[in-house]
Amino acid sequence: MFWFLLITMVVVVAAVTLAVVGGGEGEVLPEVAPEQLVDPLPASRPVDRADVEALRLPVGLRGYRMADVDDVLVRLGAELAERDSRIAELEEALAGASAGDADGEGA
């Protein structure tokens, strides 16, 4: 049994050594260009729901590429802040118009 294990181990070590040493003769794998985010969000108009649903972030070695995710989150944050500001502005205008109408009815 001991000789069998010893011979098996020698064969395995020889096979691994040949695979490592002999494997250098073949063609090396070409470098693959990293996946890039192509047109993540439209720059010419505000982002809508379909844009966000269609967005596919490229995956890197350890997950999503942080720079691409950061760019998308900054853009979405800016769009949401702008919309919140516009909504607040319109609500104030509506409240002012409603208050003006209420004052006008009593006179």
In the structure encoding, which two tokens stand for residue 67, read together? 């720079």
Per-residue DSSP letter, 62: T
pTM of the model: 0.52
User: pLDDT for 40-60, tens place per residue?
Assistant: 788 888 888 888 888 888 777
Q: Which residue has the tokens 């853009």?
A: 75
| Residues contacting residue 47 through CB under 8 Å, at least 6 positions apart | 41, 75, 76, 79
**Tell me: the pLDDT tens digits for 76-100?**
999 999 999 999 999 999 998 888 7
- Whether the CA torsion 93, 99, 100, 101 is positive or negative: it is positive
Res 101: pLDDT: 77
